[in-house]
Structure 1
Amino acid sequence: MYFDGSVKGLKVGAPVTFRGVEVGTVSNITIRTNSKDLTTRIPVIVEIDPDRIETPGGYLGDRLPQMIKLGLRARLELQSLVTGQLQIELDYMPDTQAKLVGDKTKYAEIPTVASSLSKFAKDLEKIPLHEIVHRVTAVLANIDKFMDNPALNQSVNNLNQAILDLQKLVKDVNRHVDPLLGSAEAAVGHADELVINVNNQIDPLAASVKKTTDAVTRTADAARPAISEVEKAFANIAALTAKGSEERRKLDSTLKELQAAARSIKVFAEYLERHPEALIRGKGKSKRR
């Protein structure tokens, strides 16, 4: 396997792991130079313990091309943060491209990918540190200039004086607030007494209203039978006054008889006015003069 960049911290005997499980060690690290283009490569040879990896269907070396096709890759990872030593981590990374150098050796080549540390270093290189330092320096210079401004010292003094005045004002307010609180408590007490007096007046009034309501209810209950009788009487009157009814005919006949009797009584009364002696002698026996 070939790693781009420095392999500082990787030593012979460094562990080779697969998802955290040690499956081998680094057996050799060399430098190889191409005489044509003078490029330099650092091949790293590792020794995998076949007993640590069980592969169905044959020897691990025979299965390696298929495993690479499925995404098997190698990368450098930090072994110890204190010592800075590195190790080689094997894992399946199907989303990465398999880059092979293709040197003709007796060892099978495993593609490598950039480590997290390498990616971090590249990202760090993209940060404009010089520009950031320049800006920070300018900001610090402005802060120093601002702090040395006499107007700032005067503003600080004015602020301190304002704080003192505010503290004095708070004390004065507290002196006036305490009596007001006492008056407010007294007013609340008077309000409580007023509520109690109102309640004392309302309770008898409510009792009187209840008695009156009960009396009205009893009167209404007693009036119900009379109302029922009146309703019956109105019903009888309606039956008597209904045009064409038997009761109406009887009533008309009775009224006619009463009218005839009334006329007879009227005639008799007029006769008595003219002849009062008829009450003694009888009708038709008046005294001759």
Structure 2
Amino acid sequence: MSETAERRDGAPALPEAEVRVRGAPSLVWLIPLLALAIGAWLALKTLSEQGPTITVRFPSAAGLQAGKTKVKFKDVEVGQVTAIDVSQDLDSVIVTAELKHGSAHLLNAETRFWVERPRVSASRVSGLETLLSGAFIALDPGSSGASQRDFVGLDEPPLFTTDAPGTRFVLRAATLGSLNIGSPVYYRQIQVGQVVGFGLEDDASAVRIELFIPAPHDALVSAETRFWNASGVDISLSGAGISLDTQSLVSVLLGGVAFDTPDTIAGSGAPAQPLEVFPLYPNREAAHARTYAAKSHYLLLFEGSVRGLSIGAPVMLRGIEIGQVLDIQLQFDPEAEIFRIPVLIEVEPERIALRNAAHAPDHAHMLERLVELGLRAQLKLASLITGQLYVELDIDPEAPAAGLGRYGDYVVIPSRPTPLEALTGKLERILSRLEQVPFEQIGADLGQTLGRVREVVDSGVLSQLGEDLEDTLASLRGLAEQLDGEVAPALRATLEEARATFAHAGAMLDPEAATTREFRTMLRETAEAARAVRDLADYLERHPEALIQGKGGLR
């Protein structure tokens, strides 16, 4: 076949291409392959350098902007907000943020997020640096927990970060009072911590308050530490007067908690453990009061007024508090047609130390014996200013015989009237006796007596008696003048003679006088003569024959 062929119509034929098979692919295919490899490498590099993506739910997106708002940890940028969407339930916003590579270890179940913006409250001021830089999302990594990517942001910044050294403790109180998050915690009037949270217990029976005390002050808390509410100004009125207690002006405005460890024989106890639960006492006095496990309830019945007695009033035994009043009621007895006021008291028997406790009777028998000895309950005035009353238990040996009674489920301790009621009763008895005095008869008799006295006065007997008395006084006056004129000179002479006699006697008794010396010599000689007579008597007693034979006749 020739290279050029003619067509049937005689026209020259077109040339045909000659196909030749190559042995290797063309180099042109290397360009897309190289581009694919570079793209895959870039994709892998981007994926390897990309950080984790997280979502955080906030109540609102105030101050947040996608593509601008940063995520920071300790003021170091670790990510950026990429998207902000409204949640499906429309009650919050979902913020999507992309963190930098290597930030995955910061994300776990305990990680916390919050929006850092300017905040001014009564307890603190924070976030002022965001006035210029703008709001940002702050991150606080948790210490443990499983890896997590979806979080719920905090409404307020936490009061302490996870890595802050210190210890958290829990207080249990009946009410929250004026405490709030950020309320200070004081030790010896120095702030050493703050309240970081509160809420109800699971059974809603009490309030659970969480404290954080940074190191090294957390070591001040031990098992024996007492916490009390230091909010406001604590003013108490008692029989001892008015007492006022406050920690600082901040605690007056914001509330606060104070604590201390009382000195006891057993010591301060072991160091407190994290999240250990302590009771929160209402004031310092209640916190430092000794607590006793044994408590006995008794009932007191009063028929008079108990105005001034309130729940919580002390029960005293010879000036020492042993309990308190728990309840006061007013009851009417239709059978006796009288009002009675039952007062329920709580007594702590352990407050009364017993000598030879091993041989002492139990509390029931001991109380019965004390009532037999005259133990009675009485209301007494604690303060003249406030008019408050308290219950006094004391032994009255002269009290009428009485025993323990029963009123419902309680043992009744006999009572006696208050001092005012006792005085009123005595006055009533005195008035009753005075009513029995016949004042009308006494008045009539007194009138008759005065009439007779008037008759005597009018009869002139008293006038004659006065004249006779004047004559008698004149006679006595004349006798006195006579004695003064005649007896006085003689009496004066007698006194002079007596003075001279005493002077002479004094001269004779002078130790240097001759008479005194002679008298002393005479006494000495008399003593010697008496001694000689005594010797002679002794001799004659031994030798009676000497009276006949003489001393020389003895052989």
Given the two structures, how large is their TM-score scaled by the length of structure 1? 0.46
Structure possessing the higher radius of gyration over alpha carbons: 1
* More strand by percentage: 2
Given the two structures, how large is their TM-score scaled by the length of structure 2? 0.27
